[in-house]
Amino acid sequence: MPTPTDVKRAAVLGAGTIGASWAAWFLARGLQVDIWDPRPEAEAYVRRYVADAWPAMSRLGMAPDASPEAWRFHASPEAAVAAADFVQENAPERLPIKRELYGRIDAALRPDAILASSTSGLIMSEMQAGFRSAPRFAVGHPFNPPHLIPLVEVVGGQETAPETIQWCLDFYRHIGKKPIHIRKEARGHLANRLQAALWREAVSAVVTGLASVEDVDTAISAGPGLRWAAMGPHMTFHLGGGEGGIEHLLAQFKPAFESWWETMTTPELSDENRRRIIEGVHAEAAGRSMAELVAERDAVLLPLLELVSRRG
Ligand SMILES: NC(=O)c1ccc[n+]([C@@H]2O[C@H](COP(=O)([O-])OP(=O)(O)OC[C@H]3O[C@@H](n4cnc5c(N)ncnc54)[C@H](O)[C@@H]3O)[C@@H](O)[C@H]2O)c1
């Protein structure tokens, strides 16, 4: 295995929303990036994406030798991975598509290269089964957009070598990410399960008429969401217990939480319920384009990231 701090070349397979963003981050860390995507327009998409992301990359601090030009688009995945120390796969979230891709690159990978998948929730043991590279293959799940959000979830499968897990944690930390090790395989890993739990209740609130889409969003963005960038839900509740901390909070709110949990149900994503969510989101967007919404998000996110990274 290459030393995590010595990685010079990263390959990006699949250059859509996540792959292009990973490419921007790898470039900002001074890596040479080899890209493949079957979509012919992907090369132009990456060029635009990197150009758009570069001012944010400069603001957050780049490697001295970073260049937005240090990438090449290849004609095949085999060619893209041939010289890579590390491969980040970002193909569509479908097991057969991903496995077909791994079948193509398995023999082309350098025997010491590490392969990580951005999968949002597929099971690594099912992804890696039968491939020569299985011991060097792990999940490296980022959050959208990976060039801004620090979290990366590292998950091994049954055949992933323990050194691969450690390597991925060291590599992601070295390139400025905040990796965590998820110790068991679970659909959705950890953070997407947390998001799914919250979104289940958010959708329920809309379809049962408890609140509008916009008010549900405000309930998070003007409420607990502000605290969650500073500390997670457990530590937030430790403070919620006042001087008595988490012990007092659990003593006081145990009956309340248990009774709230009892009333929570899973909404059906029926045509009608999906329509209500879609209409609510468009009403909340009020004609703002996707680019305008991204700019609005980043105007908050960038100063927040600067604050959080100063905290260390
Ligand atoms: N969108 C998110 O918020 C998010 C967040 C974290 C992780 N992910 C994960 O990242 C991966 C990619 O998701 P996305 O949102 O970027 O999807 P996307 O649809 O934006 O991009 C997928 C890209 O893969 C390309 N592609 C199609 N067939 C391919 C193949 N056989 N091999 C390689 N590439 C192929 C497509 O042309 C497209 O450019 C998924 O595994 C997803 O679960 C997504």
199-240: per-residue pLDDT in tens?
999 999 999 999 999 999 999 999 999 999 999 999 999 999
Instruction: Write down which residue in 182, 206, 223 finishes a domain.
Output: 182
Q: Do residues 138 and 102 lie in contact, with contact meaning Cβ atoms separated by under 8 Å?
A: no
Domain count, the chain: 2
* Residue whose token pair is 């992804």: 127
Q: Is 92 in the pocket of ligand 1 (CB under 6 A)?
A: yes
Say whether both 68 and 176 belong to one domain: yes
Is the confidence at residue 297, as pLDDT, over 80? yes
Under the phi-then-psi rule, with left for phi > 0, alpha for psi from -120 to 50, and beta for the rest, what region is 188? left
Q: What is the mean pLDDT of the chain?
A: 97
Instruction: Write down which residue in 165, 182, 199 finishes a domain.
Output: 182
pTM of the model: 0.95
Atom of ligand 1 nearest to the CA of 14: 34
CA dist 151 and 154 (Å) reads 10
Say whether both 130 and 42 belong to one domain: yes
Say whether both 168 and 67 belong to one domain: yes
Say whether both 28 and 166 belong to one domain: yes
Task: Kindly report the CATH number assigned to the domain that includes residue 107.
Answer: 3.40.50.720
pLDDT recorded at residue 308: 87
Confidence of residue 191 (pLDDT cuts 50, 70, 90): very high
User: What integer is the mean pLDDT of 152-172?
Assistant: 98
* Residue whose token pair is 């500390």: 231
Question: Measured in angstroms, how far is the CA atom of residue 163 from the centroid of ligand 1?
Answer: 27
**Number of neighbours of residue 124 by Cβ within 10 angstroms:** 23
Question: Measured in angstroms, how far is the CA atom of residue 221 from the centroid of ligand 1?
Answer: 27
Burial 6-45 (b: 16+ CB within 10 A, else e): ebebbbbbbbbebbbbbbbbbbbbbbbbbbbbeeeebbeb
Is the confidence at residue 312, as pLDDT, over 90? no
DSSP-assigned letter for residue 237: H
Question: Which residues have a Cβ under 8 Å from the Cβ of 82 and sit 6 or more positions away?
Answer: 108, 110
Nearest to 139 by CA among 195, 158, 130: 158
Q: Per-residue pLDDT tens for 239-257? A: 999 999 999 999 999 999 9
Domain that holds residue 153: 4-182
Closest-CA residue, ligand 1 atom 3, reads 144
Q: Is 142 in the pocket of ligand 1 (CB under 6 A)?
A: yes
DSSP-assigned letter for residue 112: T
Is the confidence at residue 305, as pLDDT, over 90? yes
Say whether both 200 and 272 belong to one domain: yes
Is the confidence at residue 55, as pLDDT, over 80? yes
pLDDT recorded at residue 52: 95
Strands (E) across 171-219 are located at 178-182
DSSP-assigned letter for residue 98: H
Q: Per-residue pLDDT tens for 9-29? A: 999 999 999 999 999 999 999
Q: Give whole-number Cα distances, 111 to 114, 167, 193, in Å.
A: 9, 15, 34
pLDDT recorded at residue 1: 85
Say whether both 109 and 20 belong to one domain: yes
Task: Kindly report the CATH number assigned to the domain that includes residue 204.
Answer: 1.10.1040.10
DSSP letter string, 63-93: -TT--TT-EEE-SSHHHHHTT-SEEEE---S
Say whether both 164 and 270 belong to one domain: no
CA dist 21 and 42 (Å) reads 12
Instruction: Write down which residue in 156, 182, 208 finishes a domain.
Output: 182
Say whether both 234 and 166 belong to one domain: no
Angle subtended by helix axes 213-221 and 271-285, to nearest 10: 60
Cα–Cα–Cα angle for 152, 48, 75, rounded to 5 degrees: 80
Say whether both 219 and 94 belong to one domain: no
Say whether both 200 and 176 belong to one domain: no
Say whether both 84 and 140 belong to one domain: yes
Q: Is 13 in the pocket of ligand 1 (CB under 6 A)?
A: yes
Say whether both 219 and 277 belong to one domain: yes
Q: Do residues 204 and 176 lie in contact, with contact meaning Cβ atoms separated by under 8 Å?
A: no
Question: Measured in angstroms, how far is the CA atom of residue 209 from the centroid of ligand 1?
Answer: 34
Q: Give whole-number Cα distances, 28 to 45, 58, 255, in Å.
A: 17, 8, 49
CA dist 305 and 195 (Å) reads 20
Question: Measured in angstroms, how far is the CA atom of residue 303 from the centroid of ligand 1?
Answer: 28
Is the confidence at residue 309, as pLDDT, over 90? no
Q: Are strands 86-89 and 9-13 parallel, antiparallel or unpaired?
A: parallel
